[in-house]
Amino acid sequence: MSNFGSSRAAGAPEIHGETRDTRTTGAATSAAPGKAAQADFMREPIPRKVYLVAVLAGLSGLLYGFDSGAISGALPLLEGQFGLTASQTGLITSLLLYGALPSIVVSTIAARRFDRRQILLVGGVIFILGSLFCAIVSGPVGLMAARFFLGFGIGIANMFGLIYLSELAPTRVRGLLTGLYQLAVNVGILAAYAVGDIFHSTPDGWRWMLGLGVIPAVIFFVGMVIAPPSPRWLMMRGRSRDALNVLRTMRGGEEFAAKEIQEIEEVLDRPTKGLGGVLSDARKPLTILAILTFFQVWTGINAVVYYAPIIFKDVEGLGNNPGAVANYGVGTALVISTAIALPLIDKMGRVKMLAVSMAGQAVAMVVLTFFAESGWIAVAAVFVYTFSFGFGLGPVFWLYVPEILPLQTRAIGTGIITFTQYLLNATFALVFPMLLAGMGPWIFMVFAVLSVAGTAYTILRVPETKGRSLEEIEEEIFGEVKSVTDKQTAGSNS
């Protein structure tokens, strides 16, 4: 599943077309002789700095959540001011996601040369400028352009925020810390809903809803300036001493840092392949992730995140502002469920939480199909649905992406999955208003059926990764791939 197969000169492994200098490796891996082998990652004490860096990096998720959720409160005002059609509504919503697509491609290429943290800094600048752009445009066309530009930052944040967190997090709390990204996304969505409620009756209130994202964007940029680089990226560039220095500050002792350096080095010592070889060796994890990302999108989460006010605008019994009631239900459910899920990810395991999550979604969507206009019953169904998503399919999926992709192909593999997700997201956001108009509440039954299918697939096909280092996960999956490849080769030679 990693980049294997090409020849290389002794002492100079080739990484992404670059020569990796191994002369410093001996000094790094021998920093704690006799101790590295005894390091037990599941008993490692966690320095406070780890949590600080995780919060700073998690702000990339908050930005994604805020800019995604802000359109929900802005759409009714935009429709009232500009008389938007269903297709225009879909475009304004989906262009944020379409804008992420080119940035994913460019940043994946840039990851060969630049650290994850440096790329996140570029994303922070885009968030700042894009938020200001959204606040000052004069009409729908300008807003579409601003949302498309802001999408560049979304693509960077969602891809490299996750990679950065997973590569910097200690094994014992990797699920918790990487899950903070999804919690930050959901906090951002809830914050956007609150801002929308505050400004829903203000003239040009949509400008405030979309423009206030500049505040967390500035905080995120400053946070990335002071955060350390990824130790795994440093190792890929031959900077073993620098990587060890980072791990000394981010791990519970010298023996843990040295052990991790050794494991990373063992992975990097494997020869590399080109893109075709990457896709071939990483076929198993990429297939699993592609199928899971389909279920994450097409079981309906964006229907409630983006369009809750539109879905519930004519429902009786929800007061004068039914959209706000629906939004607060969605946002609160996402935050509470993800907060509950974080400490459980490394205890229950990824597979069980994914299965429970999608099973809960299925039940809620069946109820919503038959009670879509029943006031508080519909709101309760949406609350249960979003709670179920936030408990598993939201945080666990994005933790799982960098976990099962190999180090040498983690950036390009995450890029492929993130690109796929945003393409599916953008398509969903574009067509959902038309699907809702054409199918009515029966569209929710489609989401229920897909949730059941996703539950079955997870139980049958998705491997568990809790309690193992990234290198151990890679070794297991690579071992399976190598075994299959050896059998195929033997068969063809017989």
pLDDT digits (tens, 9 = 90+) for 353-389: 999 999 999 999 999 999 877 778 888 888 899 999 9
3 DSSP assignment: S
Q: How confident is the model at residue 15 (pLDDT cuts 50, 70, 90)?
A: very low
pLDDT given for residue 446 in this prediction: 96
Q: Closest Cα to residue 124, out of 34, 202, 64, 195?
A: 64
- Give residue 487's identity as a one-letter amino acid code: K
Q: How many CA atoms lie within 13 A of 216 on its CB side?
A: 25
Question: Does pLDDT of 199 surpass 50?
Answer: yes
Question: Does pLDDT of 288 surpass 90?
Answer: yes
| Tokens at 350, concatenated | 């990824």
- Residues 355, 295: contact at Cβ < 8 Å? no
Q: What are phi and psi of 14, to 5 degrees?
A: -100, 125
Pairwise CA distance, residues 337 & 187, whole Å: 11
Pairwise CA distance, residues 405 & 324, whole Å: 40
Q: How many C-beta atoms lie closer than 10 Å to residue 303's C-beta? A: 25
Q: What are phi and psi of 19, to 5 degrees?
A: -90, 120
pLDDT given for residue 490 in this prediction: 43
Q: Closest Cα to residue 411, out of 240, 241, 230, 256?
A: 230
| Tokens at 195, concatenated | 């801002």
pLDDT given for residue 3 in this prediction: 31
Q: Cα 294 from chain centroid? A: 14
Q: For 394-439, how does the pLDDT look when each residue is reduced to its tens digit (9 = 90+)?
A: 889 988 888 888 877 777 888 888 889 889 988 998 888 888 889 9
Q: How confident is the model at residue 480 (pLDDT cuts 50, 70, 90)?
A: low
pLDDT given for residue 310 in this prediction: 67
pLDDT given for residue 266 in this prediction: 82
Bigger pLDDT: 222 vs 72? 222
Bigger pLDDT: 470 vs 134? 134
Q: How confident is the model at residue 40 (pLDDT cuts 50, 70, 90)?
A: low
Which range (189-198, 234-243, 372-381, 441-450) has the least confidence?
A: 372-381
pLDDT given for residue 436 in this prediction: 85
Bigger pLDDT: 374 vs 480? 374
pLDDT given for residue 422 in this prediction: 85
Pairwise CA distance, residues 88 & 16, whole Å: 42
Q: What are phi and psi of 6, to 5 degrees?
A: -85, 155
Question: Does pLDDT of 24 surpass 50?
Answer: no
Q: Averaged over 284-312, what is the pLDDT?
A: 86
Q: How many C-beta atoms lie closer than 10 Å to residue 337's C-beta? A: 24
9: β partners: none
Question: Does pLDDT of 252 surpass 90?
Answer: no
Pairwise CA distance, residues 401 & 166, whole Å: 10
Bigger pLDDT: 476 vs 351? 351
